[in-house]
């Protein structure tokens, strides 16, 4: 199965949240789709090398109507030298509703390069028109201590699980956070498809861990399936785990 099909991301507004591969997901999808837009509702590191062009504009729909080389990035402004700012969610709604692109790929929260996270009070910044939401976690977090070295907002993860800060992260803890309404499913619009993603499945041992997490997710939630990925690989889909 292709990455876009596995992630239900071939068309529409596709938002990635969580930690451990959000940007890699956006860029891998953008390379594999026809008319794709990469954007964000939060800050995003400079990503010019991953798309044909990045347009800094407060009129993204008009800019995209003139685009000839895809994928295209659109952002409202630069924030320091190493990142762009994101649009308000209603601007992303307008991009999606315009029909100018097949898929609008959105970074909708931050994780400070950690492997795992739970969202803060003002996260995620999801557009109301989101068709697909992809909560992501890295399986590298399993076996690591619940500290800021590995986890963004470890106290939030502790509040959703029976862990204390400093405890060892277990497969069920990843599942619990990804399916929680205060975790990976926070503020998901009614009608949006949620597809959890377990990334950095780099070998057979990590695949076994990821399958354990996926089985737990499927037993406790109504998501259609769970996707196991190694997003840096030429063929990034390791497996699609279904009921």
Question: What's the distance, Cα to Cα, between the start and end of the chain in Å?
Answer: 17
Nearest to 172 by CA among 145, 209, 131, 121: 209
Burial of 65 from C-beta contacts in 10 A (0-12 / 13-18 / 19+):
exposed
The encoded tokens of residue 240 equal: 């699609």
Rounded to an integer, what distance in angstroms lies between the CA atom of residue 10 and that of residue 132? Answer: 10
Q: What's the confidence (pLDDT) of residue 122?
A: 93
pTM metric for this prediction: 0.97
Helix H or strand E segment including 178:
helix 171-179
What would the pLDDT profile of 15-45 be if each residue is shown by its tens digit?
999 999 999 999 999 999 999 999 999 999 9
CA dihedral 80, 84, 87, 93 (to 10 degrees): 180
Q: What's the confidence (pLDDT) of residue 64?
A: 98
Q: What's the confidence (pLDDT) of residue 197?
A: 98
Indicate whether 80 pLDDT > 90: no
Q: What SS3 state is found at 170?
A: coil
Write down all domains in the chain, each with its CATH number in brackets: 3-241 (3.40.50)
Measured in degrees and rounded to the nearest 5, phi and psi for residue 44 equal: -140, 135
Residue 39, strand partner residues: 106
Sequence-separated (6 or more) residues with CB below 8 Å from residue 160:
118, 176, 177, 180, 182, 183
What would the pLDDT profile of 156-179 be if each residue is shown by its tens digit?
999 999 999 999 999 999 999 999
What would the pLDDT profile of 89-141 be if each residue is shown by its tens digit?
999 999 999 999 999 999 999 999 999 999 999 999 999 999 999 999 999 99
Rounded to an integer, what distance in angstroms lies between the CA atom of residue 236 and that of residue 127? Answer: 27
The encoded tokens of residue 23 equal: 């940007």
Q: What SS3 state is found at 2?
A: coil
Helix H or strand E segment including 61:
helix 60-65
Q: What's the confidence (pLDDT) of residue 226?
A: 98
Residue 168, strand partner residues: 145
Query: How far, CA to CA in Å, does 174 sit from each of 113, 123, 178?
Result: 17, 18, 6
């Amino acid at each position: 199965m292709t990455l876009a099909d596995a992630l239900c991301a071939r068309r529409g507004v596709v938002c990635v949240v969580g930690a451990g591969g959000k940007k890699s997901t956006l860029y891998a999808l953008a390379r594999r789709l026809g008319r794709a837009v990469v954007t964000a509702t939060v800050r995003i590191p400079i990503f010019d090398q991953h798309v044909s062009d990045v347009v800094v504009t407060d009129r993204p729909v008009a800019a995209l109507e003139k685009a000839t080389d895809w994928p295209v990035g659109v952002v409202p402004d630069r924030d320091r030298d190493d990142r762009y700012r994101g649009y308000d969610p209603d601007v992303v709604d307008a991009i999606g509703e315009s029909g100018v692109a097949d898929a609008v790929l959105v970074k909708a929260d931050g994780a400070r390069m950690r492997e795992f996270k739970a969202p803060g009070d003002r996260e995620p910044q999801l557009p109301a028109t989101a068709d697909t939401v992809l909560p992501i976690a890295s399986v590298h977090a399993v076996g690591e201590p619940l500290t800021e070295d590995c986890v963004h907002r470890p106290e939030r993860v502790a509040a959703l699980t029976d862990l204390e800060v400093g405890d060892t992260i277990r497969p069920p803890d990843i599942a619990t956070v990804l399916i929680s309404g205060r975790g990976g499913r926070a503020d998901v619009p009614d009608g949006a498809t949620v597809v959890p993603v377990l990334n950095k499945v780099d070998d057979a041992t990590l695949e076994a861990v990821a399958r354990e997490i996926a089985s737990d997710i499927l037993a406790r939630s109504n998501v259609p399936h769970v996707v196991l990925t190694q997003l840096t690989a030429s063929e990034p889909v390791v497996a699609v785990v279904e009921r």
